[in-house]
Amino acid sequence: MNEYLAGLTTEQTNPDTLAIDECSTEQMLRLLSQEDAKVPAAVAEEIPQIVKAVELLYRTLKNGGRMFYVGAGTSGRLGVLDASECPPTFGVDPDLVQGHIAGGDTALRTAVEGFEDNAEEGMALIERCGVTADDAVIGISASGSAAFVIAALQKAREIGAATIGVVNNKRSKLEAVCDICIAPVVGPEVIMGSTRLKAGTAQKLVLNMLSTATMVKLGKVYNNLMVDLKASNQKLEDRTIRILQIATGIDAESAKAVLEKASMNCKLAIMMIETGLPAPEAQAALDRSGGNLKAAIRAYSKVG
C-alpha cells in the first residue's frame, strides 16, 4: 500500500456519510449539500496564497507571458474549462490562457486515468507548449501526487517559468515544486476518494479567482462589466448592447449604432460615447492606457 496516498485527507472515509447507501433520496442529497457547504470556507482560508498567485499571474501576463493550466482527470478538465472561457469572456487570444489535460483532448470525454502517472509526458507537454521563463504554469492535482503534473511543474521550473500549485492536501508532493501553493482542504469526500466532488468544487472556485482577478487587474473589466467580451453569437451581441446602455445611459438603438462604428468592439464603443472621440482617436487613447478603459477616460478628462 502506498503510505503517502493512504495518509491523504482526500483518501479518508467520511464518518458523516458512512450509511449513505441506506439513505432516502432526500437524506442523500442533504448530506451532499452539507458537505458542499464546507468548500467556500476552505477556499477563503487560502486567500493569502491566492493573492500571491494573482499578483504573479498579473505580472506575467502584463509583461507578455502566458499562463498554462496542467492537470489530470477532473483537475485537468477544470483547467481546460477555465482556460476555454477566457477568450469569449475577456476577449483574450486563446494562446494567452491554456488548459492541458493528461491524455490530451480525448481525456476530456473519456477517462484515461493512467496518464496521470506518466512523468515523461508531463515534461514533454511543457516542451511542446514552448513554455519559457516569461510564462506561469499552474499545476492542479487533488492528491498532489500526479506524476504528470509534478513533472510538468519541475520542467517549467527548470526553464525558469513561475509555478503555482492547486491541491487539496497540505504538505503534498506537489507543494515542493511550486513557487506558490494553494491548498484548500475540504475534508474526506462523501464517497471515499471521489475528488470530483468537494475537491473539484474547491478547485473550480480557486481557478475562477485566479483568472477573473487577473483579468480585472489587466483592465478587461469596466466597473463589473465584461467590456472585452467577443460578441460571437446573438446572446453576446444582445449583452454587449445592454453593457453599453448600463455603462453610458444611452438607448439601445444609439448603442447599436455606436457599436457598429466601433467594429463591434464594446470597450471602444464606450470610449467613443464617453469622450465623443471618433474610433481611431478613441482607440489610440485606449492604447496609451494599456487597454484600461477607466484609466483612458480619466486621462482624456484631465486633458480636456
Active site residues: 85, 116
Domain boundaries, the chain: 3-217, 234-303
pLDDT of residue 18 exceeding 70: yes
Question: Is the CATH number of domain 234-303 1.10.8.1080?
Answer: yes
Q: What is the structure's pLDDT at 80?
A: 98
Q: Span 206-231, mean pLDDT?
A: 94
* CA atoms lying within 13 Å on the CB side of residue 54: 19
Q: pLDDT tens digits, residue range 222-242? A: 999 999 987 778 888 899 999
CB under 8 Å to 223, separation ≥6 — which residues? 247, 294
Same fold, 3-217 and 234-303: no
Q: Which long-range contacts (CB under 8 A, 24 or more apart) does 225-233 make?
A: 226/89, 226/90, 227/266, 227/267, 227/270, 227/293, 228/90, 228/91, 228/92, 228/266, 228/267, 228/291, 229/88, 229/89, 229/90, 229/91, 229/266, 230/87, 230/88, 230/91, 231/264, 231/266, 232/88
Q: Span 199-215, mean pLDDT?
A: 98
The pTM assigned to this predicted structure is 0.93
Sorting pLDDT into bands at 50, 70 and 90, what band is 10?
Answer: very high
Helices 198-217 and 73-90: crossing angle in degrees, nearest 10, is 30
Q: pLDDT tens digits, residue range 38-81? A: 999 999 999 999 999 999 999 999 999 999 999 999 999 999 99
Q: Which amino acid is at 149?
A: V
Mean pLDDT of the chain: 94
pLDDT of residue 100 exceeding 70: yes
Sorting pLDDT into bands at 50, 70 and 90, what band is 304?
Answer: low
Q: What is the CATH number of domain 3-217?
A: 3.40.50.10490
Q: What is the structure's pLDDT at 303?
A: 66
Sorting pLDDT into bands at 50, 70 and 90, what band is 4?
Answer: confident
pLDDT of residue 131 exceeding 70: yes
Grid cell listed for 118: 506518466
* Percent with pLDDT over 90 in the chain: 87
Could you tell me the CA-to-CA distances from 171 to 93, 183, 290 in Å, in that order? 35, 9, 40
pLDDT of residue 184 exceeding 90: yes
